[in-house]
Amino acid sequence: MRRLYLLLFLGVIILFPFKVFSQSDGDMLKNIFDDALTNGHSYEMLDYLSNKIGGRLSGSPEAAAAVEWSRQKMTQLGFDTVFLQEVMVPHWVRGKKEVVRVINSERYGAFELAACALGNSVGTGDQGIVANILEVDGIEALKKLGKKNVEGKVVFFNRPMDPTHISTFEAYSGAVDQRVYGASEAASLGALAVVVRSMASNDDDIPHTGTLIYKDGVKQIPAFAISTNSANLLSKSIKSQAGLKLYIEAHCEMLPDVLSYNVIGEIRGLENPDEYIVVGGHLDSWDLGDGAHDDGAGCVQAIETLRILKNIGYRPKHSIRAVMFMNEENGLRGGLKYAQWVKENNERHHAAIESDRGGFTPKGFTMTGSEEAYNQLVGWKPLFEPYGIYDFGQSGGGADIGPLEEQGTALFGFLPDSQRYFNLHHTTADTFDKIDKRELELGAASMAALVYLIDKYGINGKN
């Protein structure tokens, strides 16, 4: 019988090698969540960032104001070190309101479409562009048409996000290539401009901007997003009338790069101060709304993570950093610069956690790393379940922390319930009034809890 018990015990260890934590860990998580929900600063911080500073496009005065606000806020909270890291960022400006207009509809006459320029797009100048429109459902369909059918036209990419995907980010990934690369693909076949169906999960009249990438050696042509309702109307009009024409006009332009900064706050570790756990979000946002969910929420949750741990008296073994990355939206310069700086200084980063999926109710964390690290994360699941946090099965990390993977850093992405995220993403609707205070605070607490566990037990076999 004793041998049977021993075998059963060893079997449990083999099956659940990392399900190891103590009662004190449960008490610590309760302290973390209690502090976030009764003494939280995240909602107040986001109110200022969103409503007093507003949209923070890289290179803009608002982005500069957000840098200074972040530095002052982390200093006021008493972090051990707060410093700026120089980053040269692109400076794209939208200019006056864009126009996308059908000019020869037999049924409606001339009518406007709800539109905005895509980020990094070139403009048309005051004269605008008039051309026939060609509808396609994606880049591959465009290529099959060949230059003779595309040249001299405006290409309309109209593939929607797949509504059957429960993960809205999976649906987004399946459609976003036409926004990012469509302009250069169309230009290579002689198109004059592109119009893209917004990356949205619902039908409404709000256009969604987002970055595009021009390919080297290919002519840069103007690129626009139109709302899903406008896309549906335009598609219907094209099918009912041959030779439909658009007038498009935009005044955006790319100016010379501008000096900006990543903002970094740090609590020094007691045992291993030169080894780091990073938590962060991106400080820049698009210019249409105030960037409350994308990614003001992630920034204040990162700051709040350190504030919570400091306020409850936790003294970390490793140094913990909150990083406000600059220029995720149209360049990723901040994330790349941080990883380069880490490499040059031979810093050891055990883990990095990014919040960039909105400030909604937390569900869990995505993870990119070793199988050992993944099993360790799953082993902590019972500690999170009392707080409704249960989803640890998806891979992923985050754009800004992604470059740290090269040095073996375990990457984690904060995973909230994002069913509503793509109603707001990159639009005028991404504003502070869409934030729920309790959801935001729960997200910050979940991130602080994960930092605590990684700091105490290590990750990826590293302590």
Q: State the CATH class of domain 16-91+256-457.
A: alpha beta
Q: Where are the domains of the chain?
A: 16-91+256-457, 95-251
Q: What is the pLDDT of residue 365?
A: 98
Phi/psi at 363 (nearest 5 deg)? -115, -30
105 Cβ contact list (under 8 Å, min separation 6): 111, 237, 241, 244
Nearest partner of 305 among 362, 269, 366, 355, judged by Cα = 355
> What topology is assigned to 95-251 in CATH?
Glucose Oxidase; domain 1 (3.50.30)
Candidates 186, 190, 164; CA nearest to 175 is 164
Please state, in angstroms and rounded to a whole number, the distance separating the CA atoms of residues 392 and 141. 37
Residues of the chain with pLDDT under 70: 1-23, 461-463
Residue 247: CB partners within 8 Å, gap ≥ 6? 99, 100, 101, 103, 128, 129, 130
For 116-128, give one letter per residue: b (16+ CB within 10 A) or e.
bbbbbbbbbeeeb
Specify the pLDDT at position 3. Answer: 43
pLDDT at 393: 85
Query: Helix, strand or coil for residue 56?
Result: coil
Q: Are 375 and 17 in contact (CB under 8 A)?
A: yes
Strand ranges of the sheet holding 348-354, from the earlier edge strand across to the other edge = 81-93, 253-267, 318-325, 272-282, 348-354, 410-416, 362-368
Q: Tell me, what's the pLDDT at 23?
A: 66
What is the per-residue pLDDT for 460?
Answer: 74
